[in-house]
Amino acid sequence: MPTDTVEWETLNIPKNDIKETKTNGEDNSESPFLPSIFEQAKELIDDKESSETKLYASKTSDSNVSLTNEDTEAIFDLAFELPGIYTKSEVWKLTSNQKTQLGRIWTPVLNRLLPKINNMDLIVACFITGEIIAEKGLEYQHAKRATIINDNSRNEGARQDKPM
């Protein structure tokens, strides 16, 4: 896959080979970390199955499709159009006007982007917009929901527009 990224060597460091540095827990003034960070870090649950540490400047090698600039722009427009939405459940608490906006923005974008859902950029964008379509496998369901919201809000909008 062609890439325009700067190539970097991947570092694979087996974790078994890693020993904590002697400075851990000491107030080494050259360290960018306060000593208390080590306790915090040790408490983090290591849920990664891989036994290797990988540091790399990534190519988006895990995707077999790529987003165009237009796609990326659409995603981030989306993120900024919906700054107040944080969770899926909150989508359902939106006002009628917000739903109208949501449907108007989401439906065409989702229809165009969903085939590319595996791309990391989109997943990242999804969690920005509130994890609405972040869960793989649910993407089409959410696309449907967006469409439904669109239809409903159109109906609600129509009702609102009726003269009193």
Structure tokens at 137: 């496998």
Site string for another protein, 33-72 (x = CB under 8 A): xx-xxx-xxx-x-xxx-x--xxxxxx-x-----------x
The distance of closest approach from Cβ of residue 94 to another protein in the complex, given in angstroms and rounded to an integer, is 15
Q: Which residues lie below 8 Å from residue 122, measured CB to CB, with a gap of 6+?
A: 67, 71, 75, 113, 116
Nearer to another protein, 24 or 98 (CB): 24
Nearest Cα to Cα of residue 132 among 152, 103, 156, 157: 103
Instruction: Give CA 150 to chain center in angstroms.
Output: 23
Q: Binding mask 135-164 vs another protein (x if CB under 8 A, - otherwise)? A: ------------------------------
Q: How far is the CB of 143 from another protein (least distance, A)?
A: 21
In 61-138, alpha helices (H): 69-81, 88-91, 96-113, 120-128
Counting contacts by CB under 8 A, is residue 4 touching another protein? yes
String of contacts with another protein for each residue 114-133, x by CB under 8 A: ------xx-xx--xx-xx--
